[in-house]
Amino acid sequence: MSAPHAPVWLAHIEQLADPGSLGLDPGGTGQDTLMLVRRGSDVFAYLDACPHLGGTPMAWRKNAYLNGDGSRIVCHAHGALFDIATGECLRGPCLGQRLTPLQTVVAQDGRLGVYLPHSPSP
Ligand code: FES
């Protein structure tokens, strides 16, 4: 992944429970294309695309990317479980594969920025 120049500010940390997740559609496609996942003071971003079957969207309803106790990211299509911090599939049909991570930044005022793979260069 090339190093994008600047983050796109997409949310505020107060929009996320702890643990919690949020789906976003920064490209205006009409469907969420990335997820933010909060665990404590850490926020992780991944493409909303399961590695099992051709990038299948993973939430079963809006913003629902975590399992019941909030300890793992889950793909609701076939139940794959992913580590929140690494995106590695720990259980399920894509064992050992990973979600596609996006670099994030949390500003001092709580804004959440994501370095999108297609951010325009300066
Ligand atoms: S599409 Fe995600 S587990 Fe099958």
pLDDT tens-digit map of 58-73:
999 999 999 999 999 9
Give CA 93 to chain center in angstroms.
19
Spatial separation of the C-alpha atoms in residues 71 and 20, rounded to whole Å? 10
- pLDDT value, residue 65: 98
Spatial separation of the C-alpha atoms in residues 34 and 79, rounded to whole Å? 18
Q: Specify the residue with its C-alpha closest to ligand 1, atom 4.
A: 78
53 CA: nearest ligand 1 atom: 1
pLDDT tens-digit map of 37-51:
999 999 999 999 999
